[in-house]
Amino acid sequence: MSSLGKYLWTALVLAVLTHFAVLLAFPNFVMNTAMARVSGGHFNVWRQGARVTEASRAIVRPSPDLAYSTCVYDLSGGPIQVHVAPWRAYWSLSLYQDNSDNFFVIDDREAHDGADVIIIKQGMAAPDHATAQIVESPTTRGIALVRRLAPTLEDYTGAAQAGRADVCAATARSAH
């Protein structure tokens, strides 16, 4: 192989490797950035988002008609208990693994009186005597997100009030 050919092939191989390595790592990078932004360094606790306006810059394309609550969960210390209080209009609880995939969602059609879920790491044993729905997270960290339909300021205020009854906590701690 000529010197020029050697350089060209090396550049081509590096280009392909870089392309796919960054492609695969990019969603995790974006999710890790999002988790750092919305958690403020606090895991396993709900954070009620302010009403969405032009100043909302933590996550792309937020809906101004929804009230959001986020809990960045970390299962390294064990399962997490999640409770979502009901709301008078549409609401849902959705779970995202650390590559941004939405692996679970439940809404008010299925859980009219609120949702109770225990998140465990995939492959781990569920807690004994658990009465809540068990959901296996493919990754140790991820985001739990509650959406409550709230197109007006009055709706948002009510949704934020309802969100105060939400729980996101380690199962051992929440038992006390």
Contacts of residue 28, Cβ cutoff 8 Å, sequence gap at least 6: 98, 99, 100
Smallest distance from other proteins to CB 81, Å: 22
Per CB under 8 A, does 92 bind other proteins? yes
Per CB under 8 A, does 145 bind other proteins? yes
**Contact positions with other proteins (CB under 8 A) in 21-50:** 21-24, 26-27, 30-31, 34
To the nearest 5 percent, what fractions of the chain are helix, strand and coil?
30, 30, 40
Among 36, 40, 122, 151, binds other proteins (CB under 8 A): 151
Per CB under 8 A, does 57 bind other proteins? yes
Buried b (16+ CB within 10 A) or exposed e, 7-27: eeeeeeeeeeeeeeeeeeeee
Smallest distance from other proteins to CB 129, Å: 30
Per CB under 8 A, does 103 bind other proteins? yes
DSSP string of 88-133, one letter each residue: SS-EEEEEEETTS-EEEEEETTT-TT-EEEEEEETTSPPPTT--SE
Is the four-CA dihedral 126, 147, 55, 26 of positive or negative sign?
Answer: positive
Nearest residue (CB) to other proteins, 30 versus 45: 30
Task: Determine the interface stretch with other proteins among 41-49, 57-65, 71-79, 121-129 (rule: CB under 8 A).
Answer: 57-65
Determine the Cα–Cα distance for residues 123 and 50; give it in Å rounded to an integer: 36
Nearest residue (CB) to other proteins, 152 versus 161: 152
Per CB under 8 A, does 1 bind other proteins? no
Among 71, 96, 119, 135, binds other proteins (CB under 8 A): 96
Interacting residues with other proteins (CB under 8 A): 3, 7, 10-24, 26-27, 30-31, 34, 52-54, 56-57, 59-65, 89-90, 92, 94, 96, 99-103, 105, 107, 109, 143, 145, 149, 151
